């Protein structure tokens, strides 16, 4: 009889909640497996099998857990037999690990209770202005808008009107009218906004075939390009070249996180200094 088959039988006993006489005979009625002097109990398997899992899948999941447990116990016993006692002494490492966890838990709770996470726009702008050299673009970025027209409709009057609206500087007044036209005639458009995106994101929306991004950005403001279905009227509003200073709008969240992380470090440092000072006053430590 194979090990897998025997484990399957054990799991059938477990899942059906029937008593397993083979285990009772050994005085371990709640055990489902043994490796040397160690036992794996039915209670150890709680939560291993998700509720509602079919019986067959439940048996497979439990069997896999038991097999992994047995394998770990066997390898562990082999390691114990082949390492000398000094090599098996991890008391120093465990103590150091416990201390690190304890300090980390305290610092995390201190941060949760004391950290000020409100960062004002003035603080963000101040940090940006003082550290602008640290915010270099790694790729070209653009602001753009476009009108997407089905082929064969490009000469229609409503397309001409939509293009005129897109070129208007009265953004607030034209938005509703432009949206009404595009919805009525099943056109698509990207409105004028203040969001910077990478040039690669632009080419993901508009089927441009550009060999040199810098030349394109320096020489074109309005481009018509088409694929097999649509004609795109692309308008480049603004651009910044890679290695120039990244705009504040793209760095705002990053700067907010930097400021908050700096506050965390300052909070922990202040706590440590206060604790050391108090311990010194109380003579809680000394160098012998």
Query: Is the model more confident about 213 or about 189?
Result: 213
Report whether 225 contacts 149 (CB < 8 A): no
Q: Cα(206)–Cα(148) distance, rounded to whole angstroms?
A: 9
Report whether 224 contacts 233 (CB < 8 A): yes
Q: Cα(32)–Cα(184) distance, rounded to whole angstroms?
A: 69
Report whether 12 contacts 59 (CB < 8 A): yes
| pLDDT in the model for residue 108 | 96
| pLDDT in the model for residue 150 | 86
Report whether 207 contacts 227 (CB < 8 A): yes
Helix, coil or strand: residue 224: strand
Query: Is the model more confident about 150 or about 142?
Result: 142
Burial class of 232 by CB neighbour count within 10 A (0 to 12, 13 to 18, 19+) = buried
Tokens of 220: 């074109």
**Phi and psi at residue 19, to the nearest 5°:** -70, 150
pLDDT tens for residues 43-96? 888 878 777 778 777 788 888 999 999 999 999 989 888 988 888 888 889 999
Q: Is the pLDDT of residue 244 over 70?
A: yes
The full set of domain ranges for the chain reads 3-82, 110-124+250-288, 137-240
Q: Is the pLDDT of residue 260 over 70?
A: yes
Report in angstroms the alpha-carbon separations of 256 from 95, 111, 252: 37, 16, 6
Residue whose tokens read 């760095």: 251
- Residue 153's contacts (CB-CB under 8 Å, 6 or more residues apart) are 159, 185, 187
Report whether 184 contacts 190 (CB < 8 A): no
Q: Is the pLDDT of residue 27 over 60?
A: no
Residue 20 pLDDT class (50, 70, 90 cuts) = very low
Q: Is the pLDDT of residue 14 over 80?
A: no
**Phi and psi at residue 222, to the nearest 5°:** -135, 125
Q: Cα(49)–Cα(77) distance, rounded to whole angstroms?
A: 27
Q: What does the pLDDT average to over 214-218?
A: 94
Burial 107-116 (b: 16+ CB within 10 A, else e): eeeebeeeee
| pLDDT in the model for residue 218 | 94
Q: Is the pLDDT of residue 15 over 50?
A: no
| pLDDT in the model for residue 169 | 66
């Amino acid at each position: 009889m194979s090990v897998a088959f025997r484990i399957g039988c054990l799991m059938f006993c477990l899942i059906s909640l029937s008593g397993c006489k083979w285990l009772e005979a050994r005085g371990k009625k709640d055990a489902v497996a043994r490796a040397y002097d160690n036992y794996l109990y039915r209670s150890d398997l709680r939560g291993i099998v998700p509720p509602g899992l079919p019986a067959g899948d439940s048996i497979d999941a439990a069997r896999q857990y038991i097999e992994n447990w047995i394998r770990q116990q066997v390898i562990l016993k082999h390691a114990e037999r082949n390492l000398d006692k000094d090599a098996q002494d991890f008391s120093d490492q465990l103590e150091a690990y416990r201390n690190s966890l304890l300090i980390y838990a305290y610092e995390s709770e201190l941060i949760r209770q004391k950290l000020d996470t409100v960062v004002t726009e003035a603080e963000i702008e101040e940090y940006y202005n003082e550290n602008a050299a640290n915010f270099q673009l790694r790729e070209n970025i653009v602001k753009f808008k476009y009108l997407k027209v089905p082929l064969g409709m490009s000469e229609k009057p409503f397309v001409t009107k939509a293009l005129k609206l897109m070129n208007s500087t009265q953004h607030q007044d034209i938005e509703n009218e432009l949206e009404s036209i595009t919805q009525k005639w099943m056109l698509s458009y990207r409105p004028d906004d203040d969001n910077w995106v990478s040039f690669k994101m632009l080419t993901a929306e508009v089927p441009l075939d550009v060999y040199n991004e810098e030349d394109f950005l320096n020489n074109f403001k309005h481009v018509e390009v088409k694929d097999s279905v649509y004609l795109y009227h692309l308008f480049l509003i603004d651009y910044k070249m890679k290695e120039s200073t990244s705009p504040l709008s793209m760095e705002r969240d990053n700067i907010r996180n930097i400021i908050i992380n700096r506050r965390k470090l300052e909070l922990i440092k202040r706590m440590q200094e206060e604790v050391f000072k108090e311990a010194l006053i109380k003579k809680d430590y000394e160098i012998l």
